Structure 1
Amino acid sequence: MILVDSLLDFFLETRKHSEAICEPLEVEDYVVQPVVDVSPPKWHLGHTTWFFEEFILKPHLKNYEIFHEDFSFVFNSYYEAVGKRVVRTDRGNMSRPSVKKVYEYRTYVTEHIKMLFETEQSAAVNDLLEIGIHHEKQHQELLLTDIKYILGNNPLLPKYSDTFEDHPIENHQQDWISVEEGTYEIGHNDNTFCYDNELGRHKVYLNAYQISNKLVTNGEFLEFMDAGGYDRFDLWHAEGWDWVNQNQIKSPLYWHNIDGEWHHYTAPGLQKINKDAPVTHISYFEAFAYAQWKEMRLPTEFEWEISREFFPWGKRWEWTESAYLPYPNYKKADGALGEYNGKFMVNQKVLRGGSVATPEKHTRPTYRNFFHPNLRWQFTGLRLAK
């Protein structure tokens, strides 16, 4: 449990960081939604604010007056228990509320949270604030990836930032870590923050395996492409092969072949591929096909968790071979917050590790991210196992 003063500072620091992420944007960038998986930056700023208003201020601050009666409808994401909401595909159709009004909303809610926590609160309310902070941190990662998709699909490929390094290099030598067969414990196991899908801690049996201490690089993935990896049906799941052909996939997201040389869209704009940087923006389908081509495989999430102390992580969300399922004795929270994780435990793959877009003080070795196998707008990469 974080002390209340520290928790409030953590809250204020988090609120400022969301706005710092949006600082390089033009006002027109705030409302764009190119595809269903990408939400407009304005919506992220409003939704994270609504979360604090809905789950903390309305039930716990006496005589609290909501900022605007329509904002719950506009900024609710998927919480059925809370009420009606704008259809996800329509988030980019709303020119109103204005960006200015959303920033006023943020200020209003932030000030009222400060007011609430000037008095001593119960452990339950403190826990809600901590969940809200990490919820906003999740959206900070989504903000960065959504902004990259918005700008990276603009025909002008405009620069986002010269300071956000989205393609760092791993300088260590590639090596294989050997792990003996045996029974290991998995899951969160201390009193620091975690999500309910990281509980409860349990034992798993693992066969002996080896795992790479280094992520697959752009240069290595380019070898797969040059060898015809996207044209060989035998490397792909049937669903993955359909996805490749229906969408004419020939390279990772944001890659462009210009005069015979591969470039990709990055935060500073269009740049030549650095072959030494870890490959990113690939789907699970692509990660699996690459591993098949190498006559290896992806690690399970349990293999990843057990061996993660032997390699650096956090540069890429790493696809695993594990389906997103509940741990033993998993129990959803009561009420609307019970919708946070549990109802998504179907048809998704687990990713581990965090990425360059993950904010500070948010990721941890037991963190389980999850996406559908075709998605690749996040900073997703792969690590091989055998």
Structure 2
Amino acid sequence: MPAASPARDERENAGIAARFADTRALTEALVQPLGDADATIQSMDDASPAKWHLAHTTWFWETFLLRDHAPGYTLFDEKFPFLFNSYYEAEGDRIARGRRGLVTRPSLDEVLDYRRHVTAAIQPLLEDPRHAELVELGIAHEQQHIELLLTDIKHAFSKNPLGPAMWDDNVSPRAGGDLPQTERHAETDPGLRRGSPHAFEDGWYSHPGGIARIGHQADGFAFDNEGPAHRVLLEPFALSKQLVTNADWDAFIADGGYETASLWLSDAWAWIARCNIRAPLYWRDGEQFTHTGWQERDPNAPVTHISYYEADAFASWVGARLPTEFEWEAVARGQHADDAPAHDPAGGNQLDPVSSWAAPPMPRGSDGLFGDCWQFTRSGYLPYPRFKPAEGAVGEYNGKFMSGQWVLKGASCATVRGHSRASYRNFFYPQQRWQFTGLRLAKDA
């Protein structure tokens, strides 16, 4: 069960009720540009409709807090648990994941009514210390779905032949600093070459190896899969200070990266042939699809929307490798994520702190290891030593997915800020790439 304790930033210090309100408001602000049809569409089985995210996060509060801890509370609608349960076997039958887009009713407005009803009912429970752990988990759960909502609707809009924009391109994106992370331009620098990571030699984090303590060790919320803290032995290594960029990926493509079998794992080579993969998701000639529609691709921005298979092949091509999750975390423990790109209701202006952060996420390149994109590691998503899932349905949150997936670290430009921490473990299957996924190289020292 996740631990709860006093929060670190100023908005968190205002109280758990304020963070609950900010999170709920941000979710709703992000769907304001959407119509009912936009919020209902499901473009693939991995993604869910925006309306479903709105309702599922509300079902989570109703099921795990109100149903058991609010005397006299009755379900808003007895049909909703079947429609909006995700994967909790202990909570009974549910609609198949790939059929969520068939739920044309209830309408978006009715789902928003459901949210208002549950938000009001939960207020008396928010600052009761007996419920603190569940409230912390519920906030973190909804924040995860904020990121999924953003990436799922981006995928849906990309499938529309018109390539519509969720936001106008004059809306400021949620990103890092104004300057790109690197200044390697194609006309002045040939970029990376096969077997030569020379372009990265201007910046590596060196680590001497030794015994490192891994996992959540500080005050504040953490998911159960971030612990227990334990020790690992590291050999000397180095981690690139910069993320791989779009220009780097162009060089990989130009050198026949997608046509060279020796760079690819066997499953990966079969996958790119079967699915005709020849570039990152959302790429076409000189452009990429964004929440503001098709835009010119910035060569200096971090490459995103790649799979584990592609990240591993690129690392092989350049003569490097992916880091382990333990190497990444050992370096990240000396860094802070306060200024990293993030969707953060605490970062808006004083007059409108939430809607000013309801803006398109866009990786630009920023200092440090956090933000911009989730970074693949070569570590399988497995339980840490002495890991035990919590009792009951809540125990299904993470533990039952510890098979066949890969760990990613670092958060993305679509991640709510509180999830940018060294111990955080994201995880995806090796072919998935609709999230803001990228890579940072490692090498042996």
TM-score by length of 2: 0.83
Q: Give 1:26 shift.
A: 2.1
Which letter maps to 1:366? Answer: S
Whether contact under 8 Å (1:332, 1:338) holds in the other structure is: yes
Unaligned 5+ runs, structure 1 = none
Superposed CA RMSD: 1.6
1:265 match:
289
Matches of 1:151 and 1:360, distance apart in 2: 25
- Deviation per residue, 1:316-360 (Å, 9 max, x gap): 000000000111110100000000000000000000010000013
Match of 1:237 in 2: 265
Match of 2:377 among 302, 315, 320: 320
Is residue 2:180 matched to residue 1:156? no
- Corresponding residue SS for 1:264: strand
**Paired residue for 1:306?**
330
Bigger shift: 374-383 or 300-309?
A: 300-309
1:319 touches 1:380 (CA, 8 Å); kept in 2? Answer: yes
CA deviation profile, 1:170-205 (whole Å, cap 9, x unmatched): 436750111102111111002210000001111111
SS at match of 1:205: strand
Matched-pair contact (CA < 8 Å) for 1:165–1:267:
no
Q: Offset at 1:273?
A: 1.2
Picking from 142, 150, 155, the partner of 2:148 is: 142
Indicate if the aligned counterparts of 1:324 and 1:349 stay in contact, CA closer than 8 A. yes
User: 1:226-261, CA deviations, whole angstroms, 9 ceiling, x for partnerless residues?
Assistant: 00000011100010001100000000000012xxxx
The match for 1:121 among 112, 121, 128 is 128
Q: Secondary structure at the match of 1:45?
A: helix
**Which of 283, 294, 304 is the matching residue for 2:318?**
294
Residue 199 of structure 1 contacts residue 330 of structure 1 at CA under 8 Å; is this kept in 2? yes
Report the residue type matching 1:99 in the other structure. L
- Say whether the 8 Å CA contact 1:157–1:270 is kept in structure 2: yes
Shift of 1:216: 0.2
CA distance in 2, matches of 1:377, 1:95: 24
Q: Quick one: distance in 2 between partners of 1:46 and 1:2?
A: 28
* Inter-partner Cα distance in structure 2 for 1:170 and 1:356: 14
Question: 2:56 & 2:249 partners in 1: Cα distance?
Answer: 37
- Contact 2:370 2:420 (8 Å CA) reproduced: no
C-alpha deviation, 1:5, in angstroms: 6.8
**Aligned pairs, how many?**
379
> What is the rounded CA distance, in whole Å, between the counterparts of 1:192 and 1:42 in structure 2?
30
Give TM-score scaled by structure 1 length.
Answer: 0.95
Which stretches of structure 1, 4 residues or more, deviate above 6 A after TM superposition? none
Q: Name the CA distance, whole Å, in 2 between partners of 1:273 and 1:190.
A: 39
State which of 17, 28, 36 in structure 2 corresponds to 1:8. Answer: 17
Alpha-carbon shift at residue 272 of structure 1 (Å): 1.5
DSSP 3-state at the match of 1:337: helix
Q: Which has the higher contact order (CA 8 A, sep 6+)?
A: 2
Once the two structures are overlaid, the 10-residue window that deviates more, 87-96 or 5-14, is 5-14
- Which residue of structure 2 lines up, in the alignment, with residue 203 of structure 1? 231
Percent identical pairs in the alignment equals 47
Please give the alpha-carbon distance, in whole angstroms, between the structure 2 residues aligned to 1:253 and 1:127. 38
Counterpart-to-counterpart distance in 1, 2:125 and 2:427: 34
1:359 to 398, 405, 416: 416
Instruction: Choose from 87, 90, 96 the match for 2:99.
Output: 90
Aligned to 2:173: 165
Q: 2:393 aligns with which of 336, 342, 345?
A: 336
Unaligned runs of 5+ in 2: 8-12, 184-201, 336-367
8 Å CA contact 1:298–1:321 kept in 2: the answer is: yes
Query: 1:191-230 to 2 correspondence within 5 Å?
Result: 191-230=219-258
What code does the residue aligned with 1:165 have? P
CA distance in 1, matches of 2:103, 2:234: 50
TM-aligned CA distance change 1:298 to 1:377, over 3 Å = same
CA offsets 1:210-238 (integer angstroms, 9 cap, x no match) = 11000000000110000000001110001
Which has the larger displacement, 141-150 or 173-182? 173-182
Return the offset for 1:296. 0.6
Asked whether the equivalents of residues 166 and 267 of structure 1 are also in contact (C-alpha less than 8 Å), the reply is no
SS at match of 1:210: strand
Name 1:247's counterpart in structure 2: 275
* Cα separation, 2, equivalents of 1:299 and 1:87: 36
Matched AA of 1:249:
I
Q: Which residue of 1 aligns with 2:343?
A: none
- For 1:133, the equivalent position in structure 2 comes to 139
